[in-house]
Structure 1
Amino acid sequence: MNVTVFYQRVANAIANHNSLLCVGLDPDIQRLPAPLRTHPDAVFQFCADIIAATHDVVAAYKPNIAFFEAMGVAGIDILTRLMALPRTNLWILDAKRGDIGNTAAAYASAAFDHYQSDAITVNPYLGGDSLEPFLANPDHGAFLLCRTSNPGSRDVQELILAYGRPLYIAIASMAATQWNSNRNVGLVVGATQPAALQAVRACCPDLPFLLPGIGAQGGDLAQALTAGLDAQRAGLLVNVSRSVLYAASDATYASAARAEAIRTRDAINTIRFSK
């Protein structure tokens, strides 16, 4: 990976924790552990406990803003406080923003100034000008939706363009070249389609990838790593959410989350360093 400020931050997060694991923070009030259900600040406490239990074994956290926005003003306050905690990990705000002009600039300001996020997920289908506010600062990055993990992604992302390439490869190519002048673009590429993941990696050997789709969505870890690792056996973040967050529903939830995070990290590293 060609190293610049944001890419160095990704590389440092991976190296410092010996981990490619990214834990998604998707708090579901209905699934909170029993001991927290009467806690006055249950969601914050739950997420903070998960972070405290796992921060030394994961490279990144990815709070999904929708789960916090669904709680209204209280949820925004919870997310703000979580992202103000002391951190040694990369934080990726999963917001999938996509708009133009002042609206895009406002979204970028919210992510980087208010929430102090290191990176954000962005929908690139409005074109390069819609990405500029998110990519203006080389210290921050944007992971662009490229080939996502949901089954319906093929309806649009696999459309064949006039010159014979699928749309997702065109997005990957533009991300690696014309949109990446500050070397702070990454791609969201689902683990559920290893052939597509391999094609994107061939197109973009230096870009960091965010990989959803392992676990509940059925992505195969070994196939995804084989397809997506870069030449340094790194260059990607494997996102898991529910298997870590809800590893236990009783008072052991934090220690169970840690055990599951370690298990997943070690499974990744076994495959990662097997060649």
Structure 2
Amino acid sequence: MDATQLFEQIKLKKSFLCVGLDTDLNRIPEFLLSKEDPIFEFNKAIIDATAEFAVAYKPNLAFYEQYGATGWTSLQKTVKYIRTKHPNIFTIADAKRGDISNTSRMYARTFFNHLDFHAITLSPYMGHDTVEPFLAFEGKWVILLSLTSNSSFDDFQLIENAKSGKRLYQEVLSKSMLWGNENNMMYVVGATRAEMLKEIRKIAPDHFLLVPGVGEQGGSLADVAKYGMNSQCGLLVNSARGILYTDQSMRFAGAARAKAMLLQKEMEGLLKEVGLI
């Protein structure tokens, strides 16, 4: 899936919603715990309820890896279900990997060949040779951490390079744009840094941005669109807890659908404002 195809899905659904599948057994409805695979049963219900409004799904690997082999099985089943039943929905492995090139090749095979994700999040800290093995896969994407939504983001990301005058997140953008292109590379930019999207768009005007932090973390969808949208929308805005855990009863999927629909309607209005639909 390239950027044009992703934009076609955005126009078709009038949405740039990414649903984060951060599935926590401590927060899912209790009646599901008696199922053989409660994580998958929960994910399946959420996917079926929200697929009309979502253009992407993003499982966070930590929520699956904590359960060892059983969690990995749940992840495999979840990705296979999306790829089989909703093949036009973009899938992101929120894995935040980043290691020497030999190790990166193994990670790339895992997530792109074995699990068949469209994309993976990566830490760019170790440089080009840790990212290149992922870019070697035709039709797959890397999503580099650039400016994150966590509270201590400024420990490193705002440090200024005395020679170039650029902050670290700006160096990440500038250097990495020489590695890939707008059809195989995105950037993570937190919604809580929406005003800084103006600076990011000066460096990376055409790339898609994966934007977490809307909802429980306090980010504004309107501000993200105002400062970050480009001529192909260029945004995937993630919501996880705000959709997944709105209801703890047997009606949880319907409640998740209603929340996803609200976000989609707001996104539709924002897309119409700039003439993209």
Q: TM-score range by the shorter chain?
A: over 0.9
Q: Is the 8 A contact 1:147 1:189 kept in 2?
A: yes
Counterpart of 2:243 in structure 1: which amino acid? Answer: V
Query: Does structure 2 conserve the Cα–Cα contact (< 8 Å) formed by 1:6 and 1:184?
Result: yes
Q: What stretches of structure 2 of length at least 5 have no aligned partner?
A: none
TM, length-normalised to structure 1: 0.94
Which residue in 1 is equivalent to 2:151?
151
Residue of structure 2 in register with 1:173 after alignment: 174
What residue number does 1:54 align with? 50
TM-score (norm 2): 0.93
Partner in structure 1 of residue 29 of structure 2: 33
Q: Summarize the alignment of residues 239-250 of structure 1 with structure 2, pairs less than 5 Å apart.
A: 239-250=238-249
Secondary structure in 1 matching 2:186:
strand
Counterpart in the other structure of 1:133: 133
Counterpart check, 1:192 vs 2:188: no
Where does 1:35-114 land on structure 2 (aligned, <5 Å)? 35-85=31-81, 86=84, 87=86, 88-114=88-114
Q: Are the aligned partners of 1:13 and 1:60 in contact in 2 as well (CA < 8 Å)?
A: no
CA contact (8 A) 2:181 2:207 kept: no
Q: Contact 1:136 / 1:182 at 8 angstroms: preserved in 2? A: no
Q: Distance in 1 between matches of 2:62 and 2:148?
A: 17
Structure 2: distance between partners of 1:146 and 1:17: 27
Q: Match of 1:24, SS?
A: strand
SS of aligned partner of 2:26: helix
Which secondary structure does the structure 2 equivalent of 1:23 belong to? strand
Q: Please provide the CA RMSD for this pair.
A: 1.4
**Identity of paired residues, percent?**
39
1:270: how far off?
1.6
Could you report, residue by residue, the CA deviation over 1:131-188 in whole angstroms, capped at 9, with x for unpaired residues?
0111112300011000011111111010001211111111111232x11158411100
Q: Which piece of structure 1 moves more, 222-231 or 59-68? A: 222-231
What is the CA–CA distance in structure 2 between the aligned matches of 1:181 and 1:223, rounded to whole Å?
A: 26
Q: Alpha-carbon deviation of 1:15?
A: 2.6
Gaps of 5+ in 1: none
| Matched residues, number | 269
Q: What amino acid sits opposite 1:141 in the alignment?
A: W
Contact 1:124/1:130, CA 8 A, preserved across alignment: yes
* 1:9 shift after superposition: 3.6
1:249 partner SS = coil
CA distance, structure 1, for counterparts of residue 151 and residue 138 of structure 2: 33
Q: Is the 8 A contact 2:128 2:176 kept in 1?
A: no
Specify the code of the residue in structure 1 equivalent to 2:16.
Answer: L
Cα separation, 1, equivalents of 2:200 and 2:118 = 23
Tell whether the 8 Å contact from 1:100 to 1:126 is kept in structure 2 after alignment: yes
Equivalent-residue separation in structure 2 for 1:100 and 1:13 (angstroms) = 35
Which secondary structure does the structure 2 equivalent of 1:157 belong to? coil
Matched, 1:20 2:16: yes
SS of residue paired to 2:52 = coil
Q: Which 4+ residue blocks in structure 1 deviate beyond 3 angstroms?
A: none
**Is the Cα contact below 8 Å between 1:34 and 1:251 reproduced in 2?**
no
SS in structure 2 of the partner of residue 154 of structure 1: helix
Once the two structures are TM-superposed, the CA of residue 95 in structure 1 deviates from its matched residue by: 0.2
